[in-house]
Structure 1
Amino acid sequence: MRIAQVAPLAEAVPPRLYGGTERVVSYLTEELVALGHEVTLFASGDSRTRARLEAVVPQALRLGLKVRDEVAPHVVMLRRLLDRAAEFDVVHFHLDHLHLPAMLGRNISFVTTLHGRLDLPELGRVFAAFPEAPFVSISDAQRLPLRDVAMTWAATVHHGIPADLLRFSPRHQGYLAFLGRISPEKGPDAAIRIARTAGLPLRIAAKVDRVDQAYFEAVVKPMLDGPGVEFIGEIGDAEKSDFLGGAVALLMPIDWPEPFGLVMIEAMACGTPVVAYARGSVPEVVEDGVTGFVVRDEAGAAAALHGIGALDRARVRREFETRFTARRMAEDYLAIYRRLLRANDAAAAERAAAGARAAPRLRLA
């Protein structure tokens, strides 16, 4: 199958450090190539892939030259894609909704994975304007804010990561881990309080975006002066096996409707259980009492940590291998691509038949 993957340009594919969407696009792209498909990746020029790379900008926008209008390079990317659309059987977008006006009515098989939160009030009107466009959600919970919007949902596909990306650690080193981004909705301040209540040290590996700098300075940084908390900063894939594998548990005291939470399956790949609040996708990803504990608040998280030693780290790893590998993700998407192609073939046949019925007939005298 000839497949185009269209990634955001904010980060390289895969990202050097933080960047969940671009990381998932990379895992999917490489797995599709490994399965023998012809894949073209539309992304930044510093991306690394075995697919054919269509470089739209030389570097990822976050790390390269500052661009005042980040929409502009994406518009250029869409033009390049449309110029080459006949080369692809299926086009898979990871751009939310920017491409929708350009794609409809062109007889191009395409699908869009929505990677972000969908509870923003303006999104309902956008998606309602394109009821025929097929979308993929990354959790069933992600769809809930749009349950009253007439949309075409092709499927829910949970994320996956390469089975050999992160190393299994049968034994921990006695600390708790927080990994991701410093922001109020991610709950690093709650993680610090939970760790101190449980009497366990906490290591925080996270980036601080400019928009969250004030929160970091006012709330999180003063808490770092106390005992048992180490702030490491942003880390990449190369450091994750040691960081996550050494943890007693990953803490995810989130205060927002998490669409998926890639860090949860990264921890599971290392055999590390997850203690997370029951928000968004968490109950779909964490099997309570098997791969971690799903809790309601700080007190529940601290209490759950007292029983974390009863969980089997080898079982956590096996559950990851069953449910959350990149191969499983790629196979799920291939099934969607095939359904799209069958539906488009059927629609084309119906249009041809309708045209034949409408054509004037030659009458013989």
Structure 2
Amino acid sequence: MSGAHGRPLRIGLVCPYSFDVPGGVQFHVRDLAEALIARGHSVSVLAPADDETPIPPYMTSAGRAVPVRYNGAVARMTFGPLTAARVRRWLTAGEFDVLHLHEPVTPSLGMLALWFADGPIVATMHTALTRSRGLQMAYPVVRQSLEKISARIAVSEDARRTLVEHMGGDAVVIPNGVYVDHFTRATPDARWTGTPDAPTVAFLGRLDESRKGLPVLLDAVPAVLRARPGTRFLVAGRGDTGPDEVRALLGDDDARAVEFLGSITDAEKAALLRSVDVYCAPQTGGESFGIVLVEAMSAGAAVVASDLGAFRRVLDDGTAGTLFRTGDPADLAATLLRVLDDDGLREKARDHASDVVRRYDWSHVTDEVLTVYEMVTAGSSGRQVGEDPSSRRAGFGRLVRSDRWER
């Protein structure tokens, strides 16, 4: 799909969170960049990263990030005069046809880029919050800049609702993308493959973020083991929780059923999800989408997830997986046992999931994003929605005002 006037687009993507400890937003930006490059577009990504952090050639580091508490997690972001200068240089060099900001009201690179840029600007909102003092405080600071945004995307209905309630306006919902075939074609690993007597249940996520729900899963372990003593729980992710903490919580016998895999690669994640009988998502809140559910469904794992609104929607109201009451270990244990004991239930959910996941494949998601780019770059010789009239001399081939800084 070509850009405006039948030519490839020069696209700038801005990620607010550091690639030192990558998470869902970082992976989304990375995969979107690579999907766009595969379509023939020129893409540059600006993101925080330490000097020693390996980054792909299409990415520019905006420097070291600092940890900040945000949305129940610790996000690594960067701000300040030095960062602002780097953002300006990147924008000047890029001469982008379209600038795509992720989380532009987060105090990081997206907010800075929005202050400095003109022209076709797309913003993607990833966050879903019932109530956010941070967003309420940030909105007056960025309100005028937000008017420059030409089009808004939300990764889910929950993220769209957060945008509407906190900032007004609306957004088109385009979900996070997954390379479905990467998971569908992954080779199972014998270390993680379950058997009828020893089924395997996987969990992926940061171990020290309570909202990811690992404590809920661990509380459910004893009840599952009483009914199915051979069950193995495979826990992958970063964090301080480990065997000693689990042994203190569960006792030696039950703790032996919990295996900590540590941080795993993308290839190992695909193999893990392709191998296990059940993927468990016990998150307690703060989730706007649930990309790992789509990855697990793509790999053929039966999904058991808390009944958060975002998860319910990804699982097609529970027909592509099985839901349990959020934060309820007893209901989680009962649900895991029901799914493990019912081959027909797992098979029916997997069959439906294999159809559902196709709507999240990057081939489809990239088409939708490019449609938005086409919309905001159409008729670029005239004024577009969100353009600052004082910068019209710069045209739409560039998104930076040359009079705002020293070159």
Give the TM-score normalised by the residue count of structure 1: 0.78
Distance in 1 of aligned mates of 2:302 and 2:358: 15
Partner residue of 1:28 out of 32, 40, 58: 32
What does residue 285 of structure 1 align with?
314
| AA aligned opposite 1:189 | P
> Cα offset for 1:248?
1.5
Partner residue of 2:154 out of 127, 137, 161: 137
What does residue 82 of structure 1 align with?
91
Q: Match of 2:123, SS?
A: strand
Instruction: Map 1:197-208; keep pairs closer than 5 Å.
Output: 197-198=223-224, 199=228, 200-208=231-239
Between 1:308-317 and 1:228-237, the stretch displaced more is: 308-317
**Conservation of the 8 A alpha-carbon contact between 1:251 and 1:274:** yes
> Cα offset for 1:320?
5.1
Distance in 2 of aligned mates of 1:346 and 1:25: 29
Say yes or no: does 1:331 pair with 2:340: no
| AA aligned opposite 2:11 | I
Say yes or no: does 1:303 pair with 2:334: yes
Partner residue of 1:114 out of 106, 113, 125: 125
**Conservation of the 8 A alpha-carbon contact between 1:95 and 1:112:** yes
Map Cα deviations across residues 16-71 of structure 1 (whole Å, 9 max, x no partner): xx52221111111111111121212224472125xx443444x8889xxxxx9932
Say yes or no: does 1:318 pair with 2:347: no
Distance in 2 of aligned mates of 1:351 and 1:83: 17
**Conservation of the 8 A alpha-carbon contact between 2:180 and 2:358:** no
Say yes or no: does 1:234 pair with 2:259: no
What does residue 190 of structure 1 align with?
216
What does residue 18 of structure 2 align with?
10
Distance in 2 of aligned mates of 1:314 and 1:145: 31
> Cα offset for 1:280?
4.3
| AA aligned opposite 1:264 | L
**Conservation of the 8 A alpha-carbon contact between 1:7 and 1:93:** yes
Q: Match of 1:152, SS?
A: coil
**Conservation of the 8 A alpha-carbon contact between 1:170 and 1:314:** no
The change in CA–CA distance for 1:222 and 1:138 in structure 2 (over 3 A counts) is farther
> Cα offset for 1:163?
2.9
Instruction: Map 1:119-198; keep pairs closer than 5 Å.
Output: 119-127=131-139, 129-130=142-143, 131-132=146-147, 133=149, 134-168=151-185, 173=194, 174-182=199-207, 183-198=209-224
Structure 1, unaligned runs of 5 or more? 63-67, 356-365
Map Cα deviations across residues 139-193 of structure 1 (whole Å, 9 max, x no partner): 1113444543343333122111223322457995111011011121111121123
The two structures, once aligned, show a CA RMSD in angstroms of 3.5
What does residue 54 of structure 1 align with?
60
> Cα offset for 1:11?
0.8
Structure 2, unaligned runs of 5 or more? 1-8, 68-75, 393-407
Give the TM-score normalised by the residue count of structure 2: 0.71
Distance in 2 of aligned mates of 1:194 and 1:292: 19
| AA aligned opposite 1:155 | V
What does residue 73 of structure 2 align with?
none
What does residue 360 of structure 1 align with?
none
The change in CA–CA distance for 1:348 and 1:135 in structure 2 (over 3 A counts) is closer
> Cα offset for 1:286?
1.2
Between 1:339-348 and 1:181-190, the stretch displaced more is: 339-348
The change in CA–CA distance for 1:226 and 1:164 in structure 2 (over 3 A counts) is same
Could you say which structure has the greater relative contact order, defined with CA pairs below 8 angstroms and 6 or more residues apart? 2
Distance in 2 of aligned mates of 1:136 and 1:178: 29
Distance in 2 of aligned mates of 1:166 and 1:252: 17
Distance in 2 of aligned mates of 1:216 and 1:344: 55
Between 1:261-270 and 1:23-32, the stretch displaced more is: 261-270
> Cα offset for 1:115?
2.7
Partner residue of 2:100 out of 74, 92, 96: 92
Q: Match of 2:262, SS?
A: coil
| AA aligned opposite 2:14 | V
> Cα offset for 1:260?
1.7
**Conservation of the 8 A alpha-carbon contact between 1:142 and 1:280:** no
**Conservation of the 8 A alpha-carbon contact between 2:242 and 2:260:** no
The change in CA–CA distance for 1:326 and 1:103 in structure 2 (over 3 A counts) is same
Distance in 1 of aligned mates of 2:77 and 2:206: 24
The change in CA–CA distance for 1:219 and 1:351 in structure 2 (over 3 A counts) is closer
Aligned-pair identity in percent equals 26
Q: Match of 1:166, SS?
A: helix
**Conservation of the 8 A alpha-carbon contact between 1:273 and 1:311:** yes
> Cα offset for 1:288?
4.3
